[in-house]
């Protein structure tokens, strides 16, 4: 009984920790390149987050199932190979789903390969844990990553474009803060979110 | 005593590494090839569909199109069906068979990568009547406004591209101006925050129209006649 309960808490924990306590964007501050580059609209942020989550899940599962077979010396190269494969597959899949979607994401999809979040989960978690735990870990981190991206994308789109998910929310007289869509706005917004997270975590502790 | 053993151990180590890398590499290659082959027909179909839709969009009122090829002598010939040639244009006709205009593909360097556009040219009025971005990797939220921004699209609804008396070059070059400073119909009203992309579009159109318009005028009859006997 207690063992069962333990296992449940452990697997819930694998999932939950990525959402808040070890949030990849706000706590681990990993994968900043896509976070800053693709978070200028909420829609792009969401699509990018979902694509990353898929790659993260697939690579974690594969790395975890091959963990006894991969020699330690070449593990990083192998992980990159696996990650690159799934990114390429996602790229083709998105092209086959919709030309429009591929158009808006095209340039950033291939950049998922170098997202250090995925590599770090493969190295730090999947290579040492069972397949199911690795899958949960990937899902948790993925959802946390989507959350972080949409937090940034939402703020930047609202202030920089006056819209959220392409829906206008301000009267026409609203003057957009162009800077928020530009790369500099990404840094500002990230800094403010990090501040919010740090203060709220400090208060709790 | 120990030396030979270490070497043999290292050897098995490398063999294992090699096996792992080659094995996984092969699996990965197989996966990629399978996905590519699996999605190719659908991707091709979607791209053709998108192109067809774009042709009708840049030539408002048209609902039939014929592909024309241009040969080395500068002659334009109708070429129905698919082909891979770069030098082609699409003539759009109404249901009654009246020529609406010619859709021309053009491409050039943008801010991030090559921008590929399709624009409609009305030879009777000597105007650009429609514009659509086929492919671009411009910065999402900024440069990609060349695809979506309504007031930017407005530039290409009736852009004056009259040829000069000689029929070889245009009277006015297409140029990009700063947002809000547009005065003449051959100017492209730029987008704030996407100056480079706006300029790129203007120069792509300028280059392509300079190249194609004289050719189209020379072969004007071809476009009209071909449709009649089809």
* pLDDT tens digits for range A106-127: 667 888 888 889 999 999 999 9
The reported pLDDT for the residue numbered B12 is 58
Give me the domain span that covers residue A107.
29-204
CB pairs under 8 A between A and B: 82
Instruction: Give pLDDT < 50 ranges for chain A.
Output: 1
Out of A93, A107, A178, the one facing B137 most closely (by C-beta) is A107
Spatial separation of the C-alpha atoms in residues B177 and B43, rounded to whole Å: 37
The alpha carbon of residue B124 is apart from the nearest alpha carbon of chain A, in Å, by: 33
Asked if pLDDT for residue B137 goes beyond 90, the answer is: no
* Residue A106 to residue B137, Cβ atoms within 8 A: yes
Q: Indicate which of A51, A87, A100, A106 best probes the interface with B, i.e. most B CBs within 10 Å of its own CB.
A: A106
From A182, which residue of chain B is nearest by alpha-carbon distance?
A: B142
The reported pLDDT for the residue numbered A2 is 54
The reported pLDDT for the residue numbered B156 is 86
Number of domains in chain A: 1
* Residue A181 to residue B193, Cβ atoms within 8 A: yes
- Within-domain flag for A16: no
A176 by DSSP, 3-state: which? coil
Q: Indicate which of A70, A160, A165 best probes the interface with B, i.e. most B CBs within 10 Å of its own CB.
A: A70
Residue B151 contacts A, CB cutoff 8 Å: no
The reported pLDDT for the residue numbered A204 is 72
* pLDDT tens digits for range B87-134: 678 888 887 778 888 888 888 888 888 888 899 988 888 888 889 888
- Within-domain flag for A161: yes
Q: Indicate which of A85, A101, A189 best probes the interface with B, i.e. most B CBs within 10 Å of its own CB.
A: A85
- Within-domain flag for A9: no
Spatial separation of the C-alpha atoms in residues A93 and B11, rounded to whole Å: 41
Asked if pLDDT for residue B202 goes beyond 70, the answer is: yes
Out of A40, A98, A103, the one facing B141 most closely (by C-beta) is A40
Per the CB < 8 A criterion, the answer to whether A137 and A125 are in contact is yes
- Within-domain flag for A85: yes
The reported pLDDT for the residue numbered B82 is 55
- Within-domain flag for A15: no
User: A98 contacts in B (CB within 8 Å)?
Assistant: 46
The four Cα atoms B29, B31, B34, B36 give a dihedral, to 10 degrees, of: -70
B128 by DSSP, 3-state: which? strand
Residue B51 contacts A, CB cutoff 8 Å: no
* Residue A182 to residue B31, Cβ atoms within 8 A: no
* Residue B140 to residue A104, Cβ atoms within 8 A: yes
Q: Which of A36, A180, A3 is nearest to A108 (CA)?
A: A36
* Residue A85 to residue B21, Cβ atoms within 8 A: no
Structure tokens of B151?
Answer: 């007031």
The reported pLDDT for the residue numbered A5 is 65
pTM for the whole structure: 0.72
The reported pLDDT for the residue numbered B83 is 56
Asked if pLDDT for residue B228 goes beyond 90, the answer is: no
Model confidence at B2, in pLDDT bands (50, 70, 90)? very low
Q: Which of B220, B214, B174, B201 is nearest to B118 (CA)?
A: B201
The four Cα atoms A137, A140, A144, A147 give a dihedral, to 10 degrees, of: 150
Residue B53 contacts A, CB cutoff 8 Å: no
* Residue B32 to residue A89, Cβ atoms within 8 A: yes
For A63, B78, B153, B193, B199, the CA distances from B179, given in Å and listed in that order, are 51, 40, 13, 10, 11
The reported pLDDT for the residue numbered B3 is 47
- Within-domain flag for A183: yes
Q: Who's near B33: CB < 8 A, 6+ residues apart?
A: none
Residue recorded with tokens 């009203």: B189
The reported pLDDT for the residue numbered B15 is 85
- Within-domain flag for A36: yes
Spatial separation of the C-alpha atoms in residues B155 and B149, rounded to whole Å: 11
User: A45 contacts in B (CB within 8 Å)?
Assistant: none
* pLDDT tens digits for range B140-186: 677 878 887 888 888 888 888 888 777 777 888 888 888 877 888 88
Cβ atoms within 10 Å of B99's Cβ, excluding its own? 20
Please name every residue paired with B108 in a beta bridge, in sequence order, or none if there are none. Answer: B115
The reported pLDDT for the residue numbered A1 is 46
Cβ atoms within 10 Å of B161's Cβ, excluding its own? 23
């Amino acid at each position: 009984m207690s063992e069962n309960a333990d296992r449940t808490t452990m697997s819930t924990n694998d999932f939950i920790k990525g959402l808040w306590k070890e949030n990849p964007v706000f706590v681990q501050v990993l994968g900043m390149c896509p976070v800053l580059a693709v978070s200028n609209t909420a829609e792009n942020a969401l699509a990018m987050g979902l694509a990353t989550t898929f790659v993260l899940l697939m690579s974690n599962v594969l790395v975890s199932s091959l963990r006894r077979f991969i020699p330690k010396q070449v593990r990083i190269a192998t992980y990159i190979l696996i990650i690159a494969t799934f990114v390429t597959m996602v790229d083709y899949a998105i092209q086959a789903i919709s030309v429009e979607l591929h158009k808006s994401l095209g340039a950033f999809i291939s950049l998922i390969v170098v997202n250090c979040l995925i590599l770090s989960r493969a190295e730090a978690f999947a290579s040492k844990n069972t397949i199911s735990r690795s899958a949960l870990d990937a899902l948790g981190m993925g959802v946390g990553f989507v959350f972080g991206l949409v937090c940034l994308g939402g703020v930047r789109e609202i202030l920089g474009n006056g819209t959220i998910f392409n829906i206008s929310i301000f009267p026409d007289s609203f003057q957009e803060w162009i800077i928020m869509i530009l790369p500099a706005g990404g840094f500002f917004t990230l800094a403010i979110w990090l501040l919010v997270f740090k203060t709220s975590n400090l208060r709790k502790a | 005593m120990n030396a030979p053993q270490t070497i043999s151990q290292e050897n098995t180590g490398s063999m294992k590494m090699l096996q792992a890398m080659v094995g996984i590499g092969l699996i990965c290659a197989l996966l990629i090839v399978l996905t590519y082959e699996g999605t190719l027909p659908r991707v091709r179909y979607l791209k053709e569909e998108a192109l067809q839709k774009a042709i009708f969009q840049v030539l408002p009122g048209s609902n039939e199109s014929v592909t024309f090829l241009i040969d080395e002598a500068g002659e334009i010939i109708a070429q129905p069906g698919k082909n891979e040639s770069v030098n082609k244009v699409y003539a759009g006709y109404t249901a009654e068979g009246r020529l609406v205009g010619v859709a021309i593909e053009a491409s050039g360097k943008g801010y991030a990568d090559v921008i590929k556009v399709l624009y409609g040219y009305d030879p009777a009025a000597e105007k650009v009547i429609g514009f659509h971005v086929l492919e671009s990797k411009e910065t999402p939220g900024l440069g990609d406004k060349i695809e979506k921004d309504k007031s930017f699209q407005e530039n290409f609804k009736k852009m004056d591209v009259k040829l000069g008396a000689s029929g070889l070059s245009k009277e006015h070059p297409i140029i990009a101006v700063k947002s809000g400073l547009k005065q003449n119909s051959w100017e492209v009203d730029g987008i704030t925050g996407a100056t480079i992309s706006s300029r790129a579009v203007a120069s792509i159109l300028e280059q392509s129209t300079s190249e194609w318009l004289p050719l189209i005028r020379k072969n004007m009859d071809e476009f009209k006649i071909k449709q009649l006997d089809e």
